[in-house]
Structure 1
Amino acid sequence: MNNSKAILKTPGTMKIIPADIPVPKDDEVLINIEYVGICGSDVHGFESGPFIPPKDPNQEIGLGHECAGTVVAVGRGVKKFKIGDKVNIEPGVPCGKCRYCLEGKYNICPDVDFMATQPNYRGALTHYLCHPESFTYKLPENMDTMEGALVEPAAVGIHAAMLADVKPGKKIVILGAGCIGLMTLQACRCMGATDIVVVDVLAKRLEMALKLGARHVIDGAAADVASRCQELLGDAGADIVFESAGAQATVKLAPYLVMRGGKIMIVGTVPGDTPINFLKINREVSIQTVFRYANRFPVTIEAISSGRFDVKSMVTNIYDYEDVQRAFEESVNNKKDIIKGVIKVAG
């Protein structure tokens, strides 16, 4: 067996280099990685470097954290897995000791070791990867490893919908129909909501939103979004507004769409200082940020396995591992056509 890994040599340049095959610790499994999803954070890292730059300028930077593959070795203390199991991983390993971990909110652990960022910046774009048994999940027989890799972004949508307490009958607006917005749409559908409006400026994304269950879509570049949402949902507005574009413009728009006593869920990563018109939400509207997920992988895997959550149809581009440079260049330069790209490492 030979191993290699794709690293970010400099912003805009990926390079595949030789790597040792890691040896699993007692509580780890060794996985032959088959698919890696390209996340928006990976694209940002490719363009500009990591969101949180390493303190050491010589730190090796890996990209990729949405991954799945097959177990090829197990540590001597591993009990849940055997060689040949199809698995995916939860890419953040928390400390397990702090207040947040002990309260079950390990996604906000200040010492989490999350792939492709601090402290180790190890990426999933490699043939062989070790990961703790406790954050590894066996895939059902009817799920393949491409679907397994996409559990991670789907779990973001599930987490957002569950935090928002989505229920049948709720009126929902989703701002942004990129991967996470569409995952949030599907999560809301899984939880029984049907009156869902999706807003974006790209036609291909709006077409996909309709395919995945949105009742209405709005081209944000061509319409007055607030007026159109009132026409579709009523003058009161939406029970829940999900901001999933990660843009200041959509954050500013959200208060004009939500009803009294409603919720604004900030799912996207919004840069900089963003003014909010608090007079528009001064009727017990709540604003909550959504950070990754906690305890959501099992329910997300079940939703995909049952057929209620379709991640595969969102994949528009599949790249070979050797074409990793092209994969990221196209992800940057062809955003209007790419909804979700994945890299086939092995299999």
Structure 2
Amino acid sequence: MENSKAILKVPGTMEIRPAEMPVLRDEDVLIKVEYVGICGSDVHGFESGPFIPPKDPNQEIGLGHECAGTVVGIGSKVKKFQIGDKVNIEPGVPCGKCRFCLEGKYNICPDVDFMATQPNYKGALTKYLSHPESFTYKLPDNMDTMEGALVEPAAVGIHAALLAGVTPGKKIVILGAGCIGLMTLQACKTMGAAEIVVVDVLKKRLEMAKKLGAMEVIDSSEADTVTECKRILGELGADIVFETAGVQVTAKLTPQIVMRGGKIMIVGTIPGETPIDFLKINREVSIQTVFRYANCYPTTIEAISSGKFDVKSMVTNIYGYEEVQKAFEESINNKKDIIKGVIKIAD
């Protein structure tokens, strides 16, 4: 077996290079990668470099962390997997010893080794990778590896909805209809919510939100978001407002949309400072940040496998491995047409 990997040579330029086969430890599985999803963080990394730059300026930077494939090797102590199993992975491997790991909040482990970022900056855009058995999951027979790769962003939506306490009868606004916004929409639907309003400026994304179950959508380039949300949901506003766009403009809207005693869930990664008018939320409104996910993969896999959660419809663009440069360039330059792009590494 010959390996290769796509590396960020400099911001704006990817290069596929030969690579050594991964070292297979006793507790690891060796995976032939088949699909890798293109995340917003990958696009940011391609355009500007990693969110957290490496200390060593010569550090090799890989991109990609949403992936799935087939097991082609197993370590001597691996018990759950066999050669030929279809699998996906949680791309963050925590220390397992700190307070946060021991409390089950391993997503906020300060020493987590998360793909395409510190400390190793190892990306999933490679033909073969090794990964610990404990953070690898077998896919059901009725799920393919493209769906398996999209479990990762779907788990973000599931985690956000669980933290928010979504239940039937809740009135919900989702600001942003990109991949994570649409995953959050579907998570809320699976938890019984029906009154869900989705806001964006891109028509194709709003059309997809309607297809995936939004009660109403708002094009904020054509209408006042706050006025429309309250027209649809009532003057009190929303029980839960999810900010998934990761921009200050939408974050500033959240206090104007949430009702008294409601929740603001910040799912997006918002750079810089965002002023909050606390006079608008000093009636027991909660503000909660959301960071990745923890203990959500089994639930997410079941939701997709059962048909309650449709990730495949969101895929608008499929690129070959050799088209990795084109994939990232189009992700930047063609946002109005791309909802979710994936890169097919192997047949």
TM range (shorter): over 0.9
Post-superposition CA distance 1:262-291 (Å, at most 9, x none) = 000000000001100111101000000000
**Counterpart residue number, 1:4:** 4
1:203 aligns with 2:203: yes
Aligned to 1:80: 80
Secondary structure of 1:177's aligned partner: coil
Whole-Å separation in 1 of the counterparts to 2:51 and 2:309:
30
Structure 1: how far apart are the matches of 2:309 and 2:94?
A: 27
**What's 2:259 paired with?**
259
Aligned to 1:120: 120
Q: Could you say which residue in structure 1 is the equivalent of 2:325? A: 325
| Partner secondary structure for residue 68 of structure 2 | strand
Query: Partners in 1 of 2:60 and 2:272 — Cα distance?
Result: 27
Counterpart amino acid of residue 303 in structure 1? A
Could you say which residue in structure 2 is the equivalent of 1:154? 154
Matching residue of 1:342:
342
CA displacement, residues 166-216 of structure 1 (integer Å, 9 cap, x when unaligned): 000100000000000000000000000010000000000000000000000
Over the matched positions of the two proteins, sequence identity in percent amounts to 81
Counterpart position of 1:309: 309
Aligned AA (1:142): N
State the Cα RMSD in Å. 0.4
Deviation at 1:217, TM superposition (A): 0.2
> How far apart, CA to CA, are the structure 1 residues paired with 2:93 and 2:333?
32
Relative to the length of structure 2, the TM-score reads 1.00
Structure 2 Cα separation of the partners of residues 278 and 224 of structure 1: 21
Distance in 1 separating the partners of 2:219 and 2:324: 32
SS in 2 for 1:72: strand
- Residue 179 of structure 1 aligns with an amino acid whose one-letter code is C
Which residues of structure 1 form unaligned runs of 5+?
none
Q: Secondary structure at the match of 1:35?
A: strand
The aligned runs of 1:195-234 (5 Å cut-off) are 195-234=195-234
AA paired with 1:53? P
**SS state of the match for residue 316, structure 1?**
strand
What do residues 129-156 of structure 1 show as CA deviations (whole Å, max 9, x unaligned)?
A: 0000000000000000000000000000
* Aligned position for 1:235: 235
The one-letter amino acid paired with 2:341 is G
| Aligned-residue offset at 1:24 | 1.0
Aligned to 2:134: 134
Match of 1:293 in 2: 293
Q: CA deviation at 1:23?
A: 2.9
2: CA distance, partners of 1:91 / 1:26: 19
| Structure 2: distance between partners of 1:21 and 1:120 | 16
Moved over 3 A (4+): none
Distance 2:122 2:230 in 1: 46
Q: Is 1:23 the counterpart of 2:28 in the alignment?
A: no
Alignment partner, residue 108 of structure 1: 108
Distance in 2, matches of 1:248 and 1:222, equals: 19
Deviation, 1:22, is: 1.3
- The answer as to 2:147 corresponding to 1:143 is no
Q: Where does structure 2 lack aligned partners over 5 or more consecutive residues? A: none
Partner of 2:191: 191
Q: Which amino acid aligns with 1:261?
A: G
- CA separation in 2, counterparts of 1:22 and 1:315? 29
Residue 320 of structure 1, CA deviation:
0.1
5 Å matches for 1:32-71?
32-71=32-71
The count of corresponding residues between Structure 1 and Structure 2 is: 347
**What is the alpha-carbon distance in structure 2 between the residues aligned to residue 85 and residue 179 of structure 1?**
27
